[in-house]
Amino acid sequence: MAEGEKSISGLDLSKKWREATDSCAELLRYLREQVPQIYYLDTESHPQEEELVQRRLLYPLECFLFGEDPQDALEKLKQGSTSSQLCGRVFKEGETVYSCRDCAIDPTCVLCMDCFQDSVHKGHRYKMHASSGGGFCDCGDVEAWKIGPCCSKHDPGTATAMETDECAMEPGLCDRAEKLFRCLLRYTTDMLVWEESLELSAQLQPSVKGDTYFCVLYNDEHHSYDHVIYTLQRSVKCNRTDAQTQTTLIDKEGRWAVKKGSLLSCQQAKDLIRFNSEHISLQPLRVEILHAAVMAHQSFALRLGSWFQQIISYSVGFRQVFCQVALEPSAEEDHPCLISRLMLHDAKMYKGARKVVHELIFCSALMETEFKRLFAIEFTKHYLQLQKDFINDDHERSISITALSVQIFTVPTLARHLIEAGNVIKVIVFTVMELLRDYLDTNNRFHFQGYNSDKFFRVQAIFHDLRYILISKPTVWTEELRKEFLEGFKVFLGLLSSMQGMEEVKRQFGQHIELEPEWEAGFSLQMQLRHILSMFQDWCSSDDKLLFLTFKECHKTLMRCSNQPFHSEASDFYMCKHILHIRPYKVSQEPVSIHLPISRLIAGLYLHLCRTGAIQHLHKYIDPESCDYTLFGEHPLRCVVLAAQVSAEMWRRNGLSLVSQMYYYQDVKCRDEMYDKDILMLQITASKMDPNHFLMLILLRFELFDVFNGSSSGKDQELLKQWNRLTEEMLYLLIVIIGERYVPGVSHVTKEDVTMREVIHLLCIEPMAHSSLIKGLPDNESHETGLESVIPKVATFRKPGVSGHGLYEVKKECLPEFNPFFYHYSKSQYSKAEDSQKKRRTQEGNDKALRPPVPPAFCPTFSGIVRLLCCDVLIHVLRRVLQRAVEDRATQWTEAMIQRALHLIAQALLEEKCQLETSTGDEVLFDFSLKARKIGSEHGKSVFHLLAKVKVIPSLEAQTDMIKWILQMFEMVKCLRENSSPTAALSMETTKPEEIGHDKEKAERKRKAEAAKLHRQKIMAQMSAMQRNFIESNKMLYDNMPDSGIQGEPIPTESCVVEQKELCVALGPHRGSTPAEREVLTCILCQEEQEVAAQSPAMVLTACVQRSTVLTQCRGRILTNKADGTGTTYPLFMSPDLAVGTHTGSCGHVMHATCWQKYFEAVQNTTRNRIHAELIIDLENGEYLCPLCKSLCNTVVPVIPLEPLKLNYENAEIVGQHLTLPRWIQILSARIKGLKSINEDTESSSHDEDMGRCGEGQADFRSILSFGVQEPRKFSDSIAEMLVVCATTVHRVGLQTGPNELCPYVPTMAWNTCAFTIQAIENVLQEEDKPLFGSLQNRQLAGLKAVIQFSGAQRLKSSQAVIQQHFTDMLGVLLPAMSRENTPSLFEVDFFHLLVGLVLSIPALYQEEAVDLQPSAVSSAYNHLYILHLVTTAHLLQVLLSSSDFPAVAAGEEGEEARAAAELYVTVAQQSGGLNSDVSGSAVAERVRRGMAPFLRCSALFFNGLTGVPPPEELSSTAVTSQGHVEALCSYLALPSNVFQLFQDHRETVTPLLHRWCKSPAVTKILKSEIQAIRYPRRRNHLIDLPEDYSALLNQASHFQCPNSTDDDRKHPTLCLVCGTMLCSQSSCCQTQLEGDDVGACTAHAATCGAGVGIFLRIRECEIVLKASKTRGSTYPAPYLDDYGETDPQLGRGNPLHLCPERYRKLHQLWQQHCILEEIARSLEVVNVMFAFEWQML
């Protein structure tokens, strides 16, 4: 169809509709005809379908809307501003969202990444977390933020343009929009809620009803992916791939047509699906058959949903019209508005439809303040129904309409409006009650036995709504608001009274309970209510009148509650001449409940009355007579007693559920609305009652009354024990009631004081991390604990190291606040804190008395409590307790009891002292000290007397200090009372009491002396124990380091260095000696020592061979280092880009070869039988863990001793005169030629000529032998065997090939790993700025030496002919005369690898047919020298040629080196013709020196390892200049310190070589810059730079687009830290194949990027993943820390994170030192491998 035709028809159609009398009917007629045609096409969505929809349906509609071509109209619309004031971005699951702790009204206010980055909150205390999907960005919402509501993009500056937008919309357009939207939205709504599957409404019923049907499968939460795939494969005859695709679509869209056909065939498919699915999971899948026309209209309706979104985004005017149409009351009576119809149908709709509807609501009604209000009212109106639907819905909450509540209830003005207009509190609480009605018993109390946890969980979501409503309490109370709130409060009390006394427990006698009762439900209800309760109290307290009214209501409700009634009448109880008239109740015998929300709420409200001072007017509202505080306190007291009895193990038979409940009752998650409120209620009661009566009540309820009244004497041990425990608990309760005053209202403290005290007490247990502190503190409804504002006042921060986390330590000046009986300590915390504080006091030289802190004074209403301390009953109780200890009947008292009694006495004395200090002695009625001295004194049994006796009880030695301090306090109080100088008394506290004077001092001295002696003895014992331990645990480690200094190969001693100073040369005629030394090693397995010797049984070193790209210059290039790698010359020649090398590392532990073999076999056998062990150890790869340090290893290296050697310098001198470089080359050539003819017999004669040119005279085949030969070394069989083991592994791993010990590349791989390992070590040393020698870790040094010796000796186990051939091929690079067709050019080899290869293979040339020979020491010295000279020369040229852009010649002074450099440069320039000839010689010299340094450093390491000749001192120090360093290197390597000198020294040899080298085609190409050559020094690789601020990474990740898919499903962007590539991990879209297996993107990437080793940062999880092979990996903490020095895996806490460079550096080192594998193996050993992660799919 042509373009013109199309537009005409669209405009024509729209004109026709416009002109019709009923446009809507006309339009629907058109849809009736078109829609089925378009959507009939197929089940799969065709690209054609969308095109047709656009052209034939949407285009005419848009024409109708605009009255002209939509394109033109849109252009006009765009003239006016269409940007919105609100951001409104809807979050996808997993997207990172930000909240500001400083500015957000509540934590639900969030910003999207883009808005956050542009907002002021970036510098505030923000939080980040992953969205669970749904919800939108609150940027621009002025009610969501205290400050900075908009980012710079959504600044209201642009809003003015918006306001006028509506006016700008011309009336005609407005009118048409209204008509069209009304018509289409009704159509959409009708179709989405349509429930007939086979028929349509009369209006849409097609004229001819075809026989096409769809069989539609719905998504549910019961069936797994695999179930659905299975069912589909069996039911609709599709293959697995199709079934997978369809299942994915069903899951994503919520429904999908799996079959199209006649009614009959669809019916059959439906039955099959139901049958097959029921078969596997008892519940059939939901399948329906839809007539094609119904399906078509529903599909189009959904399409219209997104069309609406698009249209209303064009203009605010459209949006408003849309909202109006959606929310206008229906024309029909009692029909809800369109939007409500959609909401009410939500739970019946499938996922895809819901999403569209929700998004439409987001971008329409929720974006306009007024319409948001109307929508909120509609939402509240239908709230009950919506929640009921949600409970029965099987979808998650995030795709339920009920999740929208957070968008409206959290808006403060809206919340208030909804309370006033719709009493939303009442609605919500009523909904909860309605949904929990089934759980009410006959007493109208909840009983959750056998509850449905899923439904119950859904009910809990409703509590969030109640919390949202209460988030911001009103500042102004209107009469209306007060009334409606009170109304809601009453309903809420109704809910609480159903909880009051619910789930009573009764103590079990005799038998253990059979079934643990259900308790979680009740507690989760309580936890949900926790913040709501405190918020209600907050609201109530913000208005005095309301506070009275709510208190009154609460009181009324409590009086109505009838839980745990008394069963007996009141009677009289006597004690110390006091009578208590009360009804008896025994917790241990009658039912008791932990749930007392009404009692606790009343305590909370009472506290607020005290805090505001309104308490004095309470009598105006409630008759004081009706306030029986004893009754108020009754139930909380029972609950506290229950806790005490449980802890006294009286309820053991009631099982674990009760223990758990008691735990939560006092836990930080519940305690503020449970335990704390019970204590508060008891304090209220205590303040109102006569103290003696109160104490008698406590004794009665603790069932200790008779025990203390002397009328009970038990013999039963069990019972005595119980009494003791109860007494401890009872005394502890008294300590708490009297001493715990840190509650605003109880005393004059602020919230901050309270938090401070909590923090101090937590830190008195031990230094803690920030996150542990947060966990230990109660949070408020905004998840804030107030920690940050107080922590600097009470603690000092200790920074974290490279691992671990930052810790807070309590400040010393806060220690006097420490109360050992702090009521929020758990049992274990209590003992830990006591221990650590006593230890601390001892360390600081103080006594061990943990004095009670001086508490803040009670507020007037509570001041009566202190009377408890000096009442008769307490004195009586104290005396009883002390008396029992004095009588010392072991079963009748405990130390804990005495400790608590002492604490109480100390509290009393402190109180008395305070009172005396503030007023004169006569006025003070508090007379504890007097009573304590007087009562019972006639029999010497007053408290004071008893104390003195208790002091000397040996078993109470730990309390002596405390008792001493108490006795001092008695004296001080006495002084105060007698009005003697208080200062004298005061000083006594700190110094010693003088009255006891001399004796005391003497005793003290003696005690101190004894203590010191004891201390010494203890330390000695500790020391020797420690030493023993240390020796045992480190023995193996110590004895076995080859260079531990005790035994083994010593680092040259001082004298040695001085003596041989001139001999610090490793090669050539002046070569130093190889020291002869004994090396004795201890096997870590059998602990036996053995000397290392060539003929002895082998000792082996653990080792791990791995491929490595750490040094690569071409990261990510496909690595083809296969043995048969076509096109490359590897493994004989290493390419200069070091693409992939073979590294051999060791943990440095030594074993007998035989011991290792036994161990290895055992490991293989046990591992095979262990589940999942293959994840740690790959048996096929010969892996095992080092028996000592658990490092991952895959082979062993035999330890081969150095061959002691001393050069005869005279001989060397003589040989030197004959063996010049040209002669040496000649001799070699002759030898090679001869060997070749022996080996091949037929060789062309062309070589003869070539070789002839190398020297003036002909050399003899055997003349090489004349310069000195000797017998090769002989090794024991076991060493020989181990040489093969190691070489085979290196070959197998390095070339990724099967084991083949006969492969000709076995020796070359040994040389390669030697060279590469040295290069890696040189790299590490350079990176860490350490000297070349003397700074390696022992394990590195041991490994390096072993590898060099192994590579040198390996030759003996190979065919000499093969090695001779390798030597010839390698030499060809240097001597073009010998080169063959594929010999690489100067630019195609790494010369260090070449050097190692040549040096280690040349001895093979000495092999004679009948006798094994090798070069003598002198021969070797010259061989090494000349090889090094040649290689160095070639490398020099390589460096020179690959450098360009030298500065032009500088005028003036240039040294000899510069002249030589310039000269060489000119020569080369002439030869190659590609260089400028006019350059600065010094620049060239400098460049070459720098370029060659790594090569020289590696060579020095190599020759040192090979010969053992000690290096010059300069190389063990960093204090040497680079110039001095190079000179030292050259002298050690017998090179001229000016390397250009080589060209002059060997001019006649080198000049022709130079010519040949430069003429190579490859060289020409490079000089013409056709190929990029490697530059020297080579680039040193680093892990990529990471941003300082973690949110920058999150930002980067949010913009990440998966290269293979466009859907917006949750992705895991993962960053390769080696090369910086961002990958799409753990996602099917980016899976690929690797060696025939399906692997994830990261695994595939690691194979090319790191030769299997990978270091990845999972950005959304903030976690590093280390990968070693396809199936192996582990996590590692990311190097990002929050301000408190802690990492945050999974961003669980969401604090701002910053890069910790030290930690990142450590990771970098792990990588460079090839320790990633080791790290993985170690972490896998630790974690539970049962829940192994599928690393392959990463």
Please identify, using beta-carbon distances, which residue of 1597 and 1602 lies nearer to Zn ion. 1602
Among 74, 769, 1086, 1163, binds Zn ion (CB under 5 A): 1086
DSSP annotation of 162: H
Among 184, 1492, 1534, 1616, binds Zn ion (CB under 5 A): 1616
Among 280, 1629, 1634, 1737, binds Zn ion (CB under 5 A): 1629
Q: At which residue do the structure tokens 């939901």 appear?
A: 286
Closest distance of CB 1737 from Zn ion, Å = 12
Residue 504: count of CB within 10 angstroms of its CB:
15
The answer to whether 1612 contacts Zn ion (rule: CB under 5 A) is no
Among 124, 455, 506, 933, binds Zn ion (CB under 5 A): 124
Among 73, 1188, 1269, 1520, binds Zn ion (CB under 5 A): 1188
Please identify, using beta-carbon distances, which residue of 931 and 1152 lies nearer to Zn ion. 1152
Please identify, using beta-carbon distances, which residue of 1129 and 1157 lies nearer to Zn ion. 1157
Please identify, using beta-carbon distances, which residue of 220 and 251 lies nearer to Zn ion. 251
C-alpha closest to that of 1487 among 1364, 1398, 1576, 1362? 1576
What three-state secondary structure class fits 533?
helix
The answer to whether 1630 contacts Zn ion (rule: CB under 5 A) is yes
For 48, the enclosing helix (H) or strand (E) is helix 47-52
The answer to whether 1092 contacts Zn ion (rule: CB under 5 A) is no
The answer to whether 294 contacts Zn ion (rule: CB under 5 A) is no
C-alpha closest to that of 133 among 460, 447, 362, 441? 362
Identify residues 1130-1159 at the interface with Zn ion (CB under 5 A): 1147, 1149, 1152, 1155
Please identify, using beta-carbon distances, which residue of 405 and 1090 lies nearer to Zn ion. 1090
Distance between CA 964 and CA 598 in Å, rounded? Answer: 46
Among 1604, 1607, 1608, 1692, binds Zn ion (CB under 5 A): 1604
Please identify, using beta-carbon distances, which residue of 87 and 295 lies nearer to Zn ion. 87
DSSP string over 1177-1218: --GGGT-EE-TTT--EESEEEE------B---HHHHHHHHHH
Select from 11-19, 652-660, 1295-1303, 1611-1619 the region that touches Zn ion (CB under 5 A): 1611-1619
Among 28, 77, 144, 151, binds Zn ion (CB under 5 A): 151
Closest distance of CB 1180 from Zn ion, Å = 22
Residue 601, Ramachandran bin (φ over 0: left; ψ between -120 and 50: alpha; else beta): alpha
Beta-strand runs (E) in 861-989:
none
Q: Can you read off the two tokens belonging to residue 299?
A: 């599909």
Select from 957-965, 1075-1083, 1573-1581, 1700-1708 the region that touches Zn ion (CB under 5 A): 1075-1083
Instruction: List C-alpha distances in Å: 259 to 192, 292, 708, 1195.
Output: 21, 11, 84, 59
Beta-strand runs (E) in 1578-1730:
1612-1616, 1622-1625, 1632-1634, 1637-1639, 1654-1658, 1663-1669, 1672-1677, 1680-1681, 1698-1699
Select from 634-642, 853-861, 1189-1197, 1491-1499 the region that touches Zn ion (CB under 5 A): 1189-1197
Please identify, using beta-carbon distances, which residue of 685 and 1289 lies nearer to Zn ion. 1289
Distance between CA 1170 and CA 1179 in Å, rounded? Answer: 12
Select from 148-156, 1052-1060, 1349-1357, 1390-1398 the region that touches Zn ion (CB under 5 A): 148-156
Spell out, one character per residue from 80 to 119, where the chain touches Zn ion: x when CB under 5 A holds, - when not.
-------x-x----------x-xx--------x--x----
Closest distance of CB 1505 from Zn ion, Å = 21
The answer to whether 784 contacts Zn ion (rule: CB under 5 A) is no
Select from 323-331, 543-551, 595-603, 1614-1622 the region that touches Zn ion (CB under 5 A): 1614-1622
Residue 1172, Ramachandran bin (φ over 0: left; ψ between -120 and 50: alpha; else beta): left
Contacts of 1531 (CB under 8 A, 6+ apart): 1064, 1065, 1512, 1537
Q: Can you read off the two tokens belonging to residue 472?
A: 């911001």
Q: Can you read off the two tokens belonging to residue 885?
A: 């200890």
Please identify, using beta-carbon distances, which residue of 87 and 1067 lies nearer to Zn ion. 87
What residues are paired with 1151 via a beta bridge? Answer: 1100
What residues are paired with 100 via a beta bridge? Answer: 126
Closest distance of CB 126 from Zn ion, Å = 7
Closest distance of CB 1189 from Zn ion, Å = 3
Select from 437-445, 745-753, 1361-1369, 1609-1617 the region that touches Zn ion (CB under 5 A): 1609-1617
The answer to whether 525 contacts Zn ion (rule: CB under 5 A) is no
Distance between CA 1455 and CA 1397 in Å, rounded? Answer: 36
Closest distance of CB 535 from Zn ion, Å = 23
CB of 1067 within 8 A of CB of 1507? Answer: yes
Closest distance of CB 990 from Zn ion, Å = 49
Closest distance of CB 101 from Zn ion, Å = 8
Select from 865-873, 991-999, 1343-1351, 1619-1627 the region that touches Zn ion (CB under 5 A): 1619-1627
Closest distance of CB 752 from Zn ion, Å = 21
For 1025, the enclosing helix (H) or strand (E) is helix 997-1040
CB of 731 within 8 A of CB of 644? Answer: no
Distance between CA 1359 and CA 1365 in Å, rounded? Answer: 10
Contacts of 1023 (CB under 8 A, 6+ apart): none
For 579, the enclosing helix (H) or strand (E) is strand 578-582
Q: How many residues touch Zn ion (CB under 5 A)?
A: 36
Please identify, using beta-carbon distances, which residue of 119 and 235 lies nearer to Zn ion. 119
Among 1649, 1659, 1662, 1700, binds Zn ion (CB under 5 A): 1649
Please identify, using beta-carbon distances, which residue of 11 and 100 lies nearer to Zn ion. 100
Closest distance of CB 1624 from Zn ion, Å = 3
Torsion of CA 1669, 1673, 1677, 1678, to 10 degrees: 40
Identify residues 1107-1126 at the interface with Zn ion (CB under 5 A): none
Q: Can you read off the two tokens belonging to residue 291?
A: 């007539």
Residue 72: count of CB within 10 angstroms of its CB:
10
Select from 1205-1213, 1257-1265, 1591-1599, 1648-1656 the region that touches Zn ion (CB under 5 A): 1648-1656
Identify residues 649-678 at the interface with Zn ion (CB under 5 A): none
C-alpha closest to that of 852 among 929, 811, 898, 904? 904
CB of 424 within 8 A of CB of 469? Answer: yes
The answer to whether 1624 contacts Zn ion (rule: CB under 5 A) is yes
Please identify, using beta-carbon distances, which residue of 776 and 1343 lies nearer to Zn ion. 1343
Beta-strand runs (E) in 785-884:
795-798, 807-810
The answer to whether 1189 contacts Zn ion (rule: CB under 5 A) is yes
For 1506, the enclosing helix (H) or strand (E) is helix 1481-1507
Select from 459-467, 832-840, 1602-1610, 1676-1684 the region that touches Zn ion (CB under 5 A): 1602-1610
C-alpha closest to that of 1305 among 1128, 1502, 1130, 1103? 1130
Spell out, one character per residue from 1481 to 1520, where the chain touches Zn ion: x when CB under 5 A holds, - when not.
----------------------------------------
C-alpha closest to that of 298 among 181, 183, 193? 193
Summarize as ranges the residues that interact with Zn ion (CB under 5 A): 87, 89, 100, 102-103, 112, 115, 121, 124, 137, 139, 151, 153-154, 1083, 1085-1086, 1147, 1149, 1152, 1155, 1186, 1188-1189, 1191, 1602, 1604, 1616, 1618-1619, 1621, 1624, 1627, 1629-1630, 1649
